[in-house]
Amino acid sequence: MSGAMADPTLDLYDSTGALVATNDNWRDTQEANFIEGGPYAMLRPANEFEAALAAKLRPGAYSAVVRGKNGTTGTALAEVYDYSGGANSKFASISARGFVQTGNDVLVSGLGVQGEGIATLILRALGPSLASSGIANVLSDPTLELRDNDGTLMAFDDNWRDSADQASQIEATGLAPASFLEPAIAVVLAPGNYTVIVRGKNDATGIVAFEIYDLGAERR
């Protein structure tokens, strides 16, 4: 990929803003976790300059921040894997924020559903409502796509109230976006891999937040 970030850093913060963990190059402090024979060897970054963290977290809200070392810029991919195993814990929600431009400079998220049964999710993209949090240059009119592992479009939304049925389901969860120009999708997914893409309508650009909420996956 052209324009890739040459040397990303990764910081993990708790809900109070306290730094929980940080990493620059994965071998610096995380080598034992990701080398061959380590518990997370299959997730070892391919490049020495890429960052990785293995952390055991108590229930709560956390933020992971990816930056370019020494203020450098570029495109970076942030991944989160849940290795709770048999523990009585799971992701309740996950979100990402980025800058959407024209062409292929869009916000892309991979989504994996594992286990047996189905997952009931709300997906949404926030642009205009971010301004109330003091964020400048927000994406004025985001769109939201859900695609399966083959790239086939499963669902698309522009404004969350466009479909009366979808709007009713979303409002019932209490997760309706604050702006009518923001998209949201209520969906039930079987185990598999999916891709979510956030774009700017009519090639609009700006900052957007993408969020996934798990309403309670049915598992056996």
The predicted-structure confidence for 176-201, as pLDDT tens digits, reads as follows 999 999 999 999 999 999 999 999 99
Q: How many CB atoms are closer than 10 A to CB 149?
A: 11
Q: Please give the order of strands across the beta sheet that includes 62-68.
A: 19-23, 8-14, 62-68
219 band by pLDDT with thresholds 50, 70 and 90: very low
In Å, what is the CA distance from 129 to each residue of 134, 136, 185?
A: 10, 11, 17
pLDDT tens-place string over residues 126-136: 999 999 989 99
Closest alpha carbon to 157 in 125, 120, 109: 125
In this prediction, what percent of the chain has a pLDDT beyond 90? 66
How confident is the model at residue 220, as a pLDDT?
35
The three-class DSSP label of residue 177 is coil
Q: How far is CA 47 from its chain centroid? A: 22
Q: Show the beta-strand stretches assigned E in 47-136.
A: 62-68, 93-100, 107-113, 119-126
Edge-first strand listing for the sheet containing 153-157: 107-113, 192-200, 142-147, 153-157
Closest listed residue to residue 38, CA positions, set 27, 49, 47, 48: 27
pLDDT higher than 50, residue 16: yes
User: In whole numbers, what is the pLDDT of the chain averaged over residues?
Assistant: 90
At residue 87 the predicted structure's pLDDT band, cuts being 50, 70 and 90, is: low
- Would you call 207 helix, strand, or coil by DSSP? strand
Mean pLDDT over 33-57 rounds to 92
Q: Could you tell me how far CA 102 lies from the centroid of its own chain?
A: 20
Instruction: Look at residue 218 and tell me whether its pLDDT is greater than 70.
Output: no
Token pair, residue 21, equals 């963990």
User: Distance (Å, rounded) from C-alpha 42 to C-alpha 127?
Assistant: 35
pLDDT digits (tens, 9 = 90+) for 146-171: 999 999 999 999 999 999 999 999 99
